[in-house]
Chains A and B, each alone.
Chain A
Amino acid sequence: MKPGKKFGVVGVAFAVALTLFATSAPANAASADATIDIGSLYEPQNLDNTGGGGQGVVEALNGNSYEGLYRLTDAGVVENLLATASKVSKDGLTYTFTLRSGVKFHSGKTMTSADVKFSLEKVSATDSKSARKSSFKVVKSIATPDAKTVVVTLSSRSISFIYNLTYIWIMNSAAKDFATEEDGTGPYKLSAWKRGSTLSLVRNDAYWGTAPKNKTVVYHYFTNATALNNALLTGAVDVITSAQSPDALAQFKSSSYKISNGQSTTKLILVFNDRVAPFNNVKVRKAITSAIDNKKLLASIWGDYGTLIGSMVPPTDPWYEDLTGVNPYNVTLAKKLLAAAGYAKGFTFRLDTPQYDPHPAAAAFIKSELAKVGITVNINSVTDDQWYNNVYKKHDFAATMQEHVNDRDVVWYGNPDFYWGYNNTTVTSLINQAEQAANARIQASLLKRANRIIATEAASDWIYLYPQIVVASSTLSGYPINGLNSQFYAYNIVKN
């Protein structure tokens, strides 16, 4: 046989192999038995949300496999879940919860008040890695007078207590290994976790509530956004939980896909170390905030998506107020403020910049903007680990950039020991008072005042609020579109 013919044979063999493997995707089953394939960049680190499971475990298991006493809906409303009723004492210090009857863990054990007590104590335990641990310092004692009742006594009033309970998963107190096994009460049971690849959930047929509208949910994990987008384009996944770039959206602008622009709680912040000069000077912080055109920066990174907020509070928080006008973009004003602060000729500072997008691009933009008012920025690229060690733990920084993902987190400005070191006794007092407020209206009013003060003093520069873009196949409906606390409820998703 001549070489040319050999090549021909190889070519034919390759074509045959392609044909054999190139089977089309299986036809959609009836929607109630459908498998929903979800693409995500956030694989859990482990399965315990108080054990360092990270954002990924919340996305996959919160509300799907694990449930709390209360649920935060995709619209941001708190509703009863495993608690059917609650009674608060007049002094606001005692909460009596009545638990739902007939709730069983996936292992078959009936949920009791002992499990609730165990789960609440797990958040505040010594080895807890929950970012919410400090919110539960206020819990003084937990009593379980009977299997259906839990009585929590607080050391001081906490109007956010019920809201904070939406984060707490009720876990089986008899379970041994929360990091590698799941035993919740939710509509799905964990079927398999192929680390580095997929996490599969299967419908819990013994679920106490309404059955999910699909049978199986598979989270497919990717480490880069391009591979994630390709998976949606090729039909390997039905939906991606969070698109990472507006440039990628052009390929989804067809009738085959739906792009949802939901509400996010993730803020990109230029954080000043308010303890050290020159950032302990309000005029300097205000000058920098006025010298940076955040609108232009947002447009350069997210195009038509994203929101300017001018403060720490996103529109989904009840105490939101548009404060973008407090420190307007105005280079002349910025120069005047710098002169008034004694820095007419500018100064130099180091900007510790996380290495992942969009921080490097945003830092370069900030450097260019501040050069116009005589400030020299030395961009110092840092790893996550370096950031955590030097900036967060040791407070050894002048300025940095960071994303803050949670809602209702303006309260960090009431803690002078927090890494940014903002220390205003009025703000601290307002935030403490707000937590002890008698009702939500007073709470909102006090937090609005605190938020206005931190904006007026430019405690940080809140560059923009990220967009929350969910892209899905047009055959899909019922998926959450808001990125509240990274949760992604799958039980209402229908595939047609």
Chain B
Amino acid sequence: MAKYLVRRFAFLLLSLVLASIALFVLLRIIPGDPANALLSVGATPEQIAAAQHEVGSDLPLIVQFLNWVRDLSTFQFGESIISSYPVGPEITSRLSLTVPLTLIAFVVAVAIALPLGFIAAFKAKTWYGTLLNGFSQLGIAIPVFWVGVIFIYIFALKFMILPSGGVPPEGWANIPGTLKYLLLPIATIALVMSSSLTRYVRSATLDVLGSDYLRTARSMGSTFTQAMTRHGLRNAAAPVISIIGIELATTFVGAVVVESVFALPGLGSLLVRSIAQHDYPVIQGVLFVSTFAVLMIGFLADLIQRIVDPRLISSSAGDLR
């Protein structure tokens, strides 16, 4: 296990380095000049040249890259060339919204999806088993922004019991207030995520229910509950953990849509704004943190999978060779 961990961690670091190089190069391929966002109609050629010099867009690419590596090595990510604020604290501030939003929605989604998925599998032939199956299909078909818009219409505009968007000016200093503002975004993400998770849990459970080892365990005298607990759940858990990891990463990265619908000052909205302004240090910082988060989630999901199913360690050790 220790050997696996070291190799997997080295792989994670290598991925991170390659991703950061790719980020830097891809950003520079996109045509545009960050100095433009600081200027307006009426700027003189001298002002344009001065702005380019100030933001560093007139420097050779290699110098820009070395500056980025230097900033990265201190985990500071430099300063925004538009607002002059340090990127590190700005990202931390945005994460303080995006991370709770994603994690709470994720926990709620899992709490909904696990029981519903089991019920949908165990009672596949009943009317509510069919209904749950329909629910899971519907959730996959409906885009998350549409769910958000409908929730805003019902709970904010029609019944006026929840805010339509934004967060209180005092932020997390007002925990109940902030949670009140996050309730609809959380519900939106949780609903969509839980329906697709329900489908995976149902499918994994159905596979286990029809498996030979479960039938063998029952024939050897185990009760259904014993067979499920000892053999079924472990086998069903492995693919579900993998999917949960992917879902969590997707939700974290995809929070930009929900943040936009609910006007939330999270990481996603920061990314969208900085892309529009070609604010390279901010874009690089946000994408680096997002990449790191996605890789870490994948790493943790792999780890948990291997704890649940140790057989994977020997096979995956081979994969990494």
Contact = CB atoms under 8 A, between A and B. Distances in A.
A132 B40 CA distance: 10
Closest 4 A-B residue pairs measured CB to CB? A196-B265, A52-B38, A131-B42, A179-B84
B166 interface: yes
Interface string A403-447: 010100000100000010000000000000000000000000000
Nearest to B171: A194
16 contacts: A52-B39, A54-B40, A128-B50, A133-B44, A180-B85, A195-B90, A198-B169, A223-B260, A227-B166, A233-B164, A234-B164, A236-B166, A385-B31, A389-B32, A392-B41, A404-B41
A224 interface: yes
A402 interface: yes
A46 B279 CA distance: 13
Contacts, number: 167
A3 B83 contact: no
Interface of B: 31-33, 36-48, 50-51, 54, 82-85, 90, 93-94, 112, 115, 119, 123, 128, 152, 155-157, 160-167, 169, 171, 176, 179-180, 183, 260-266, 269-270, 272-273, 276-278
Interface in A306-324: none
A402 B269 contact: no
B310 to A, nearest CB: 33
A230 B181 CA distance: 14
A134 interface: yes
Nearest to B279: A45
Contact of B51 (A23, A52, A392): A52
B39 A386 contact: no
A17 B157 CA distance: 18
A384 B167 contact: no
Contact of B48 (A126, A131, A222, A393): A393
Interface string A164-189: 00000000000001011000000000
A126 B46 contact: yes
Interface string A1-32: 00110100010000001100111000000000
A4 B37 CA distance: 56
Nearest to A6: B115
A330 to B, nearest CB: 31
A203 interface: no
Given A134-B42, A180-B84, A195-B85, A227 B164 contact: yes
A180 B83 contact: yes
Interface residues of A, number: 58
A431 B169 CA distance: 47
B167 A230 contact: no
A385 B42 contact: no
A21 B83 contact: no
Contacts of B157: 230, 233-234
B101 to A, nearest CB: 14
Given A230-B165, A388-B39, 15 more contacts: A22-B161, A46-B82, A46-B83, A127-B54, A129-B51, A131-B41, A195-B93, A197-B171, A233-B164, A236-B164, A236-B165, A384-B276, A385-B33, A389-B36, A412-B42
B41 to A, nearest CB: 6
A34 to B, nearest CB: 15
B93 to A, nearest CB: 7
Interface of A: 3-4, 6, 10, 17-18, 21-23, 45-46, 51-52, 54, 126-129, 131-134, 177, 179-180, 192, 194-198, 200, 218, 220-224, 227, 230-231, 233-236, 383-386, 388-389, 392-393, 402, 404, 406, 412, 419
Contacts of A220: 166
Contacts of A10: 112
A29 to B, nearest CB: 16
Nearest to A129: B38
A234 B263 contact: no
Nearest to B153: A230
Given A52-B82, A192-B169, A404-B41, A126 B162 contact: no
B47 to A, nearest CB: 6
Nearest to A22: B161
B156 A21 contact: no
Contacts of B40: 54, 129, 131
Contact of B183 (A21, A177, A231): A21
Nearest to B278: A385
Given A385-B36, A386-B31, A179 B83 contact: yes
B269 to A, nearest CB: 5
A101 to B, nearest CB: 34
Contacts of B47: 128-129, 133
